[in-house]
A and B are shown apart, each in its own frame.
Chain A
Amino acid sequence: MSENESELLHDHNDDGVDRRGFLKCMAWAGTGAFLVMQAGVLKSYSLSKMPKLGPKSSGELSFAQISDSHMGFNKPANTDVAGTLKAAVDRINGLATPPEFILHTGDISHLSKSEEFDTVDQILKSASARNVFYVPGEHDVLDDDGKQYLERYGKGATGAGWYSFDTKGVHFIGLVNVLNLKAGGLGTLGGEQLKWMEDDVRHLKHSTPIVVFAHIPLWSVYPAWGWGTEDSAQALAYLKKFGSVTVLNGHIHQTMQKVEGNVTFHTAASTAFPQPQPGTADSPGPLKVPAEQLKSILGITDVTYVRGKHALAVVDSSLA
């Protein structure tokens, strides 16, 4: 196991668990640093300290998450975002277990320009996984309230582009929380989307594993920088009855995990440029790092679902 991978495994079937137990971890992909700030009863492991999950067990579902490709960004923090996105695709194509599809958790483009979307589409065509599922970031809906995004990526979606699908017994929900933002506020899902979501999960069995993905974190990572969603508590309330819920986000350009009750939260690294850790800079602007370090803090996320265990193994890999 290389040093630039880290893994969290949360086994929600671990009985006798204090499910209010709280575990907050933070990992910078690439540095090998993995910090458990407060250990609850849910377990997390660094892959370097545990045997690798048997990747060939039947009924397994693997998919990759990429995020924040910001195509069109050309400032000193990374002048070749196309190159680093290509590196991310190479990384995905090199995974031991090929992912069945890719989730892109938004900020596909930097300025919502059609040529920026075109470039990303072109690069992702070389991925081994044919299907890519998207949710928009705030950079994808500039000036047109998401009209272009919806035309390009929203076929079959509802409202501003939210949707759900099922594969191998896992229910995926893609949410939009980057439109109609209010002065002074955070990300917003809105009443119409929340109502849709309530109906979407109403008839699912409690044992159905749920994966929710959206651009802005659905947990309060750092509200002072807008890293949270106003009405995410309502969305999460609809998911309380489920035994296994995984929430995948982007937006903050760094990997971070938290487990709260039945819900595992995870944010992915950017494929374009890093942002500072919460509160460690004057603003969340792009973090400039020496060129030789850049690829060590950009990355992809590989998620494996093991049927019967209701556990999702989340592996962050840097591009270095």
Chain B
Amino acid sequence: MRRSVSTGVFLVTLGLAIVGLDGVAGKATASAQSTPETMAVKIDNFTFGPAELTVKAGTTITWTNRDDIPHTVVSSDKAFKSKVLDTDEKFSSTFRTPGTFSYFCSIHPKMTGKVVVQ
């Protein structure tokens, strides 16, 4: 009896997971069709890499923290601000307006970076 109940729960969970995957795949296809630019910045060894990035307006940048220590991505003018990113966590921001955006890690402020949007 107990066994059949837990199997049922498992199947429901699996079903949700499949729906979730479908949703992600559909979104990715739609994005590919409108060909927006995506760029990546890795956080490694207390450094944003690349520290400076020049992109077209409309580009989405994703930061990934690859350190064993949490970091944040916070623009100096507060235009964008991530929650704290633990190891392997990501933060994305889409840059729609041209300009230069300086940012830093609010926990380790010696870590700085810049996004130039054209």
Contact = CB atoms under 8 A, between A and B. Distances in A.
Interface of A: 75-77, 110-112, 138-139, 142-143, 181-186, 223-226, 282-286
A231 B66 CA distance: 31
B83 interface: yes
Contacts of B94: none
Contacts of B70: 110-111, 139, 142
Contacts of A77: 68
Given A142-B107, A185-B109, A285-B45, 10 more contacts: A76-B68, A110-B70, A138-B108, A139-B107, A142-B70, A142-B84, A181-B107, A184-B109, A283-B47, A286-B68
A184 B112 CA distance: 6
A142 B82 CA distance: 11
Interface of B: 45-47, 67-70, 72, 76, 83-84, 86-87, 102-104, 106-110, 112
A210 B104 CA distance: 35
Given A142-B84, A143-B83, A286 B69 contact: yes
Contacts of A224: 110
Nearest to A70: B69
B46 A285 contact: yes
A143 B84 contact: yes
A111 B109 CA distance: 17
B102 A183 contact: yes
A75 B87 contact: yes
19 contacts: A110-B70, A111-B86, A112-B84, A138-B107, A139-B70, A142-B70, A181-B106, A183-B102, A183-B112, A184-B104, A184-B109, A184-B110, A184-B112, A186-B110, A223-B110, A225-B110, A226-B109, A282-B45, A285-B46
A224 B111 CA distance: 10
B109 A285 contact: no
Contact of A183 (B47, B104, B107): B104
Interface centre among B47, B106, B112 (most CB of A within 10 A): B106
Contacts of A181: 106-107, 109
Nearest to B109: A181
Nearest to B107: A138
Contacts of B108: 138, 226
Interface centre among B45, B70, B72, B104 (most CB of A within 10 A): B70
Contact of B46 (A138, A186, A283): A283
B46 A183 contact: no
A225 to B, nearest CB: 7
Contacts of B104: 183-184
A111 B84 contact: yes
Contacts of A186: 109-110
B76 to A, nearest CB: 5
Contacts of A75: 68, 87
A99 to B, nearest CB: 30
B77 to A, nearest CB: 10
Contacts of B72: 142
A183 B109 CA distance: 5
Contact of B69 (A76, A182, A285): A285
Contacts of A226: 108-110
A282 B87 CA distance: 18
A94 B30 CA distance: 65
Contact of A283 (B45, B87, B102): B45
